[in-house]
Chains A and B, each alone.
Chain A
Amino acid sequence: MAPSSTTQVLLSPAELSYLHSSLALSPPIRPDGRSSTQFRPLVAESDILPGANGSARVCFPDGTEAIVGVKAEVEKSRWRPSEEHGVHLGTSGGDLEMDNDDEEEEVSGKSAGKGVGENSWAEISIEIPGFRDDDALPVFLAAMLTEALLACGELKDRLYINRGFHWKLYIDILLLSQPLSYPLPLLSLTTHLALLSARLPKLKSELDEDPLFDDDWDASAYLYPRDSAGKRLYRPPVTLLVMAVGGNIIFDPTTEELAVAEAVLAVSVGDSTSSPKAPSAPSNLRLLSIRTIDPPSRLTPPGVANSMNTATGGSAPTSSQDAVAEREGMEQQGVWNPPRGGMRRKLVGKMIKTVVEEGGVAEEVLDGLAAVES
């Protein structure tokens, strides 16, 4: 279970209860009047750091803002004796043969290029004001983003240069503001944009030579390659925060909404390129990972029902355990009761469907981000 969000929302049990019941309506009424799948407007720009390979800045209207820089460095690969490559020992007589081997490999190289990448080639580090880099929140967020990033295998393979070398990708995420709300979606969107704008210098050397690069930056190629028409072949993943109140599924929750969430999921979505689909196919998104997030609502103070209030003639429970047990059985309107327990399978299924389905939320988000000009 993920560590919960950081700042406590200062809302009274009555307010929480009001918020909860309006969100539980069908259709839900959100405090800012958005529909359940509507996102808040955000300000985004990419390619803002001239010295980085790719970069982006995203600013949410609640004041949270993040910058992501992507840097790529050439790194020597560890030597892996694998069946695929065989073991070549440098014998002086065998030079010619070796050359032939290389050529053969190159011919079949297009398909053999799959799976050559390693997970250690991408590294995400997150800086959040007020947190040490080994605090739970940044570490957990980084782990979640890395998980999503590596789940689509194309990126790793893209970092492969040759048998001796690979690109090592450093993604530095910097949250500029205090983490007012759970920062995962912000960081994910910014990372997504930065990766979209990231470019790698053009390789001039061939095969297993020590890599040499074109010194013209304009000749560099996008990390996420595009086809001749300029359309990206596949895109970096996004991780969305989805919450449920009652039977309702609500996207892009604000801090206040999170304070009454019954369940929160982090859903990572990416392009599915593994199945050869016609490029015209509108959506071929796939689910990369799901993580449940401990909703902050669990830590909110419960409202006190009349039956438990001595002032209103009720009888106060003798211990807190009793109080919890008593509240469990109660289903009383207007009294805030922090949610407990897990999610229903059906609900999870529904959430995923809303995200991934054709014309769903993820598609909308990805298309929106793609429109950000660099």
Chain B
Amino acid sequence: MTSLKRSYAADPNASNLASKVYVRSTKSGKVQKIVGELYLRQDIPCSSKLCSQCLSIAPADYKNEVQRFVLSETPAGTKRFPNGHYLVPDTNAFLNGMDLFEVETAFHDVIVLQTVLEEVKNRSLPLYHRVVSLTKNEDKRFYVFFNEFRLETYVPRRHGETINDRNDRAVRHAVNWYGEHLAQAVKTRRSARCPSVVMISDDRDNLKKAELDGISGLSLSNYVSGLDDANRLLDMISGTREERDRKAGKVELIYPEYFSLSKMITGIKAETLHQGIFNVSPYNYLEGSVQVPAFDRALLVLGRENSNRAVSGDVVVVEILPKDQWKAPSSKILEEESVNKNENADTEEGEAVFTERERRALQEEVRKTHGQSKEGRPQPTARVVGVIKRNWRQYVGHIDKDSVKSSAKQSRTQQTVFLIPMDKRIPKIRVRTRQAGELLGKRVLVTIDSWDRESRYPVGHFVRSLGELETKGAETEALLLEYDVQYRPFPKTVLDCLPAEGHDWKVPASLDDPGWIGRRDLRDLLVCSIDPPGCVDIDDALHARPLPNGNFEVGVHIADVSHFVKPNNAMDKEASTRGTTVYLVDKRIDMLPMLLGTDLCSLKPYVERYAFSVIWEVTADGDIVKSEFTKSVIRSREAFAYEQAQARIDDKSQRDDLTLGMRTLLMLSKKLKQKRMDAGALNLASPEVRVQAESETSDPVDVQTKQMLDTNSLVEEFMLLANISVAGKNYEAFPQTALLRRHAAPPKTNFEELANQLKVKRGMELRTESSKALADSLDTCVDPSEPFFNTLVRIMATRCMMSAEYFCSGTQAYPEFRHYGLASEIYTHFTSPIRRYADLEAHRQLAAAIEYEQLDQSLLSKGKLEAVCKNINVRHRNAQMAGRASIEYYVGQALKGRVIDEEGFVMKVFSNGFVVFVPRFGVESLVRLRDLGTPEPEGSFDNENYVLTASGSRDAKVELFQKVMVRISDEQEESTGKRKIRLQLL
């Protein structure tokens, strides 16, 4: 017998062909062996400007242009590499020091190998995106070299070699090749300086082998210490590795190990484990909750051991604890800084998950829940057994000054300090730094690198400093970072999409212009806009006029943004990622460039503008006879502020047509509102205040609650009507892909607590079976002696609701489209395209629905629309929170140094404190028992009646909904570094 084996290598034609084999597991559980072929080329350039050979062979694109070479001819040198150097980072260099590579002063001329890029992608998707965006940054000169596709640098895997070893070898091989290639290039140029090619790797083994191969390789920290500003840069290396090296010995493992991924997936499928997003209670940092589909109510996760290194926002897998460990949600405020003060960040000896004090605090809790009557309904508790996805981001915070040992600025010794994040739900982060002294009292940005089983707190590293605490710049930036608001100026590619005429753009005079095609000339209508004072981005304008048949014609005209922002260009993409304009007290972060938002699209008075109009015929009773939609050209006659408009309407002497039109609008809006209310729309309330700022410095001087005028509701009614009409039209035209907005009915359990509170405290009944019932029962919650009580209840009811969301019509059944709060069957956003991306998409869909233009493909794909909805939902929520946080900050600033006595209402009672809401400033704040007097008074908490009785140094009885007088002063909150108001019970 003979055996025969042909080998690919023996085939002379196959020298540029390699194959790779791997196993792929598909979603459906199939396991496939995949063979991929790999064609090796020789025309992949090295992209160094030193090299003329590569330039001659580099492939050209369809415009017959060769891609510009990236790497500089004269790269920066260091002491070690006086001739300049190119960097070739290994995967772990990116993983450990991504922030370093993003520094502007160093790390130029970097060759990112394909091997490395792919490994980074496998290890961490966010990091991969950051590397890719770096390669697009021209100043940084990052070049992706496809070493796996170039014949000379391709490395076949050796028999028995691990993938890691092969990749390391590929990196070394590429470094080696670059070195030789450059030497060759320099020789042909006859220049003296040949830059070194330096491999950066944190893998000792790899470095050792590099040394054997004669390649210069350095560890990240070694390399950085040779740079200027090394101290600052060294802090930016991820803390994990060093830490691990340091503690190579045996350490006590504090946290239980995570389950393996397969075990978790099996468990989730079998429903023995549950997956959900881990949320930490803002009042109690040791209490988290996970909402899972299998249970109506969120599962409680109590204590550090059970939350097992999960950070608020992570997607976790939990296991339900046995029933005897179920508990009621805590009625106690626990703040990290008050429990765990004076911890030393450096020592870890004998560190247990719970400090003794934490344990005591929690034990008290347990005793309390055990002693409770049966009605204390224990909730299922759970423990985290694994994390599916970390949602760690960069966190803004400040350094705990107690954790700094030597605060001398000159001291350059490395020490470990605690960073206290601004977000109270995030645990302290242990950061090693050499610049502790300098960073004290500053807002700093850090990242969490890891959270090992042996460490009580996550380990992170410092990214950059935003500036002094409580300076406007630093605080605003902190806020924007915390809420992930994209605030960088618009890039050039976006600005290139603007009309070339700039501010001189005008509606074409000639009616034959292509811009007029399909557009109705509505310039003779008496249109006006009503907005908040000082508004420059005017989205909407209105008109009304009587018709000969006794009905009225009412028009809502919306800025025609979709005319300027075409789908899929750079501006559209940017707007789609921004999702919404963010309004801060002193600043507006636009979704669209200023030119469009405040000029070309804005429906300014006295000039002609493109608009998208919705025109109804309405009877005097407010019934819609017919509605139509058209692109149009309008000329607004006046831009009113709400007060102005109100004054004009109320002024009996004004009898011109514009004013008459406005009166008609007002009359109709009241009828519309009544209809809506009859249908069960909710009149909800949220505390809204305005911070009055000094015009020049925009320093806050006063705080006012917003006033509601009739004209506010006039505009609101017609906008709602337009949105509803458009939603119907879009849905009719695109039943699968209309972008709509829904507000789900809140689950009954959401209202349970509030209903019980009202029943116990006031004997009132809150009915929640429908929005109509809720609206009616809210109307009955009146305390004749206290007009604000009703508003308070509404505020609390609002918090029980779900948040409204954008969705794609094909993903829900029609009954699910309902907007609970507005009691409308279908709803979308159409009226603010300048500041909301959803409206822009609705415009495009409506334009296609009336056959004005073709619909872009992206708006026909359910998947893409869903992605858009997901993003704008998040952006919308973030923008709201950023706005609120900004107001909160400015309220704090406005009250700085002042002491005011004001009345407030108790919103929530805990066993060791209570929350007071002050309507005058729209703020709520916690009053702890220990704030009542020193020593801390004894508190006895009546859980069923929501009464907290303090005795001892101060005798007081606080109950829910009670009106109390509080003294408002300001203080800088130690835990977050925010200036916040502080309330004292009088």
Interface residues, chain A, CB within 8 Å of chain B?
A: 39, 41-45, 50-53, 72-74, 76, 90, 92-93, 95, 201, 204-206, 208-218, 220, 368-369, 371-374
Interface string of B116-146 (1 = CB under 8 A from A): 0000000000000000000000000000000
Contact of A41 among B1, B6, B160 (CB under 8 A): B1
Residues of B within 8 A of A53 (CB): 33
Decide: A372 and B3 in contact? CB cutoff 8 A.
Answer: yes
A92 to B324, CA, bound (A): 13
List B18-45 residues whose CB lies under 8 Å from chain A. 19, 21-25, 29-31, 33-35
Contact of A216 among B22, B35, B319, B320 (CB under 8 A): B22
Residues of B within 8 A of A95 (CB): 272, 319
Decide: B21 and A213 in contact? CB cutoff 8 A.
Answer: no
One of B255-263, B450-458, B485-493 contacting the partner:
B255-263
Q: Give the Cβ gap from A82 to chain B, nearest Cβ, in Å.
A: 20
Contact of B5 among A41, A213, A369, A373 (CB under 8 A): A373
Decide: B260 and A39 in contact? CB cutoff 8 A.
Answer: no
Question: Nearest 7 A-B pairs (CB), nearest first?
Answer: A205-B262, A212-B262, A209-B266, A372-B3, A209-B262, A50-B35, A217-B21
Is B265 in contact with chain A by the CB < 8 A criterion?
A: yes
Decide: A45 and B272 in contact? CB cutoff 8 A.
Answer: no
Contact of B266 among A210, A220, A373 (CB under 8 A): A210
Decide: B22 and A371 in contact? CB cutoff 8 A.
Answer: no
Q: Give the Cβ gap from B71 to chain A, nearest Cβ, in Å.
A: 33
Is B323 in contact with chain A by the CB < 8 A criterion?
A: yes
A42 to B35, CA, bound (A): 29
Decide: B3 and A371 in contact? CB cutoff 8 A.
Answer: yes
Interface string of B890-906 (1 = CB under 8 A from A): 00000000000000000
Apart from A50-B21, A52-B33, A217-B21, what are 19 other A-B pairs with CB-CB below 8 Å? A45-B3, A45-B4, A45-B5, A51-B33, A53-B33, A90-B271, A92-B272, A201-B33, A205-B260, A209-B265, A210-B262, A210-B269, A211-B31, A212-B265, A213-B23, A213-B25, A217-B23, A368-B1, A371-B1
Q: A74 — nearest CB in chain B belongs to which residue?
A: B31
Contact of B263 among A92, A201, A209, A213 (CB under 8 A): A209
Is B815 in contact with chain A by the CB < 8 A criterion?
A: no
State the main secondary structure of chain B at its contact with A: mixed
Q: B268 — nearest CB in chain A belongs to which residue?
A: A210
Decide: A44 and B262 in contact? CB cutoff 8 A.
Answer: no
Decide: A43 and B4 in contact? CB cutoff 8 A.
Answer: yes
Decide: B163 and A216 in contact? CB cutoff 8 A.
Answer: yes
Is B212 in contact with chain A by the CB < 8 A criterion?
A: no
Contact of B30 among A42, A44, A73, A205 (CB under 8 A): A73
Decide: A217 and B323 in contact? CB cutoff 8 A.
Answer: no
A72 to B30, CA, bound (A): 10
Q: Give the Cβ gap from B325 to chain A, nearest Cβ, in Å.
A: 12
Residues of A within 8 A of B269 (CB): 210
Q: Give the Cβ gap from B750 to chain A, nearest Cβ, in Å.
A: 25
Interface residues, chain B, CB within 8 Å of chain A?
A: 1-6, 19, 21-25, 29-31, 33-35, 157, 160, 163, 260-263, 265-266, 269-272, 319-320, 322-323
Decide: A92 and B320 in contact? CB cutoff 8 A.
Answer: yes
Decide: A201 and B262 in contact? CB cutoff 8 A.
Answer: no
Contact of B1 among A44, A72, A211, A213 (CB under 8 A): A44
Decide: A218 and B157 in contact? CB cutoff 8 A.
Answer: yes
A43 to B160, CA, bound (A): 28
Decide: B29 and A210 in contact? CB cutoff 8 A.
Answer: yes
State the main secondary structure of chain A at its contact with B: loop
Contact of A204 among B6, B262, B266 (CB under 8 A): B262
Residues of A within 8 A of B157 (CB): 218
Residues of A within 8 A of B31 (CB): 72-74, 201, 211, 213
Residues of A within 8 A of B30 (CB): 73-74
Residues of B within 8 A of A218 (CB): 157, 160, 163
Decide: B262 and A211 in contact? CB cutoff 8 A.
Answer: yes
Decide: A215 and B5 in contact? CB cutoff 8 A.
Answer: no
Q: Give the Cβ gap from A175 to chain B, nearest Cβ, in Å.
A: 19
A371 to B5, CA, bound (A): 12
Decide: B35 and A51 in contact? CB cutoff 8 A.
Answer: yes
Given A41-B2, A73-B30, CB of A201 within 8 Å of CB of B270: no
Residues of A within 8 A of B322 (CB): 93
A56 to B163, CA, bound (A): 27
Contact of A90 among B3, B261, B272 (CB under 8 A): B272
A231 to B663, CA, bound (A): 97
Decide: A212 and B261 in contact? CB cutoff 8 A.
Answer: yes
Q: Give the Cβ gap from B598 to chain A, nearest Cβ, in Å.
A: 53
Q: A365 — nearest CB in chain B belongs to which residue?
A: B1
Given A41-B2, A90-B270, A201-B31, CB of A50 within 8 Å of CB of B262: no
A369 to B3, CA, bound (A): 9
A211 to B266, CA, bound (A): 9
Q: Give the Cβ gap from B883 to chain A, nearest Cβ, in Å.
A: 43
Decide: A215 and B263 in contact? CB cutoff 8 A.
Answer: no
Q: B37 — nearest CB in chain A belongs to which residue?
A: A50
Given A74-B31, A93-B323, CB of A212 within 8 Å of CB of B25: yes
Decide: B262 and A45 in contact? CB cutoff 8 A.
Answer: no
Q: A73 — nearest CB in chain B belongs to which residue?
A: B30
Residues of B within 8 A of A74 (CB): 29-31
Residues of B within 8 A of A220 (CB): 23
A213 to B23, CA, bound (A): 8
Given A206-B262, A208-B266, CB of A50 within 8 Å of CB of B4: no
Residues of A within 8 A of B266 (CB): 205, 208-210
Q: Give the Cβ gap from B119 to chain A, nearest Cβ, in Å.
A: 13
Residues of A within 8 A of B270 (CB): 90
Q: A98 — nearest CB in chain B belongs to which residue?
A: B272
Residues of A within 8 A of B323 (CB): 93
Residues of B within 8 A of A208 (CB): 266
Contact of A205 among B24, B35, B263, B272 (CB under 8 A): B263
Residues of B within 8 A of A73 (CB): 30-31
Q: A204 — nearest CB in chain B belongs to which residue?
A: B262
The 24 sampled A-B contact pairs (Cβ below 8 Å) are A41-B2, A42-B2, A43-B4, A45-B4, A50-B35, A51-B35, A73-B30, A74-B29, A74-B30, A204-B260, A209-B260, A209-B262, A210-B266, A212-B25, A213-B31, A214-B23, A215-B23, A215-B24, A215-B25, A216-B22, A217-B33, A218-B160, A369-B1, A373-B3
Given A214-B23, A216-B23, CB of A45 within 8 Å of CB of B6: yes
Q: Give the Cβ gap from A249 to chain B, nearest Cβ, in Å.
A: 20
Q: Give the Cβ gap from B416 to chain A, nearest Cβ, in Å.
A: 36
Residues of B within 8 A of A212 (CB): 25, 261-262, 265
Residues of A within 8 A of B25 (CB): 212-213, 215
Residues of A within 8 A of B262 (CB): 204-206, 209-212
A206 to B6, CA, bound (A): 39
A45 to B4, CA, bound (A): 5
A72 to B33, CA, bound (A): 9
Residues of A within 8 A of B3 (CB): 43-45, 371-373
A41 to B1, CA, bound (A): 5
A51 to B3, CA, bound (A): 21
A102 to B208, CA, bound (A): 44
A373 to B19, CA, bound (A): 20
Residues of B within 8 A of A201 (CB): 23, 31, 33
A106 to B289, CA, bound (A): 35
A314 to B22, CA, bound (A): 76
Residues of A within 8 A of B19 (CB): 50
Q: A207 — nearest CB in chain B belongs to which residue?
A: B263
A167 to B323, CA, bound (A): 39
Q: Give the Cβ gap from A259 to chain B, nearest Cβ, in Å.
A: 25
Residues of A within 8 A of B35 (CB): 50-51
A50 to B33, CA, bound (A): 9
A76 to B21, CA, bound (A): 25
Given A210-B265, A216-B22, A216-B23, CB of A44 within 8 Å of CB of B33: no
A215 to B31, CA, bound (A): 9
A53, A95, A212, most chain B CB atoms within 10 A: A212
A42, A210, A216, A374, most chain B CB atoms within 10 A: A210
A374 to B6, CA, bound (A): 10
